[in-house]
Amino acid sequence: MCPGTCHGPCDLKTGLCIFGCSEGWTGDECDQACLEGTYGKDCRHACSINCLNPSCDRVTGECIGGCKDGWQGFNCTQTCDDWYFGNNCTRKCNCLTGPCNPLTGKCPLGGCEKEWHGQSCDKGRLCVQKR
C-alpha cells in the first residue's frame, strides 16, 4: 500500500511517491514530517520570523501560539492595524495625534484622547477625589 502521506499514487514495487509528498511531509517515501521551522510542499517554506514560537503548522504555515508584538494574521506577516499594538495586535491605544507604534504601543507626541492616560493611552480614566 502507498503511504497516506503521498500526494497521489506511489510505485507499487518501490513504494516511492510518484507525484511527491502531501503538504508537511518529505522523503522518498514521504515518511518524514517537516522539521520545526519549516512547512508546506517538501518542507520548502520557512515559518514566519514573526511567529511567537519558532514552529508553525507543518502543513499550512500558521503560527502556533500566535504572533510577536506588532504582528497579526494567519502567519504573522501583517503589521497591526492603526490604533492597535502588542501581542497579536489585541491592545488598543487612544492617542490624540495619530496611531501608536504597533510594536511598543507608544503614542506620538501630543498625548492621549480625553480620559485616557499612560504611554500607550490605553489606561482608563483617572479618578480624582474632591476635597
Span 88-111, pLDDT tens digits:
899 999 888 889 999 888 888 878
Global confidence as pTM = 0.74
User: Is there a domain that residue 16 lies in?
Assistant: no
Distance between CA atoms of residues 98 and 4, nearest Å: 53
Q: What percent of the chain has pLDDT over 90?
A: 47
Print the domain residue range for 79.
Answer: 50-118
User: Is there a domain that residue 14 lies in?
Assistant: no
User: Is there a domain that residue 127 lies in?
Assistant: no
Q: What percent of the chain has pLDDT over 70?
A: 95
Angle at 104 between CA 100 and CA 110, to 5 degrees: 35
* Average confidence (pLDDT) over 14-34: 90
Distance between CA atoms of residues 27 and 106, nearest Å: 48
Instruction: Assign 48 a pLDDT band (cuts: 50, 70, 90).
Output: very high
Report the domain count for the chain.
1
Confidence check: pLDDT of 12 > 50 = yes
pLDDT the model gives residue 126: 53
pLDDT the model gives residue 115: 84
Tell me which residue of 4, 20, 2 sits closest to 12, measured CA to CA. Answer: 2
User: Is there a domain that residue 80 lies in?
Assistant: yes
User: Is there a domain that residue 4 lies in?
Assistant: no
User: Is there a domain that residue 78 lies in?
Assistant: yes
User: Is there a domain that residue 57 lies in?
Assistant: yes
Which three-class secondary structure string do you get for the chain? CCCCCECCCECCCCCCECCCECCCEECCCCCEECCCCEECHHHCEECCCCECCCCECCCCCCECCCECECEECCCCCEECCCCEECECCCEECCECCCCCCCCCCCCCCCCECCCCECCCCCECCCCCCCC
Three cell numbers written together for 65: 501560539
Confidence check: pLDDT of 131 > 60 = no
Confidence check: pLDDT of 128 > 50 = no
Confidence check: pLDDT of 125 > 80 = no
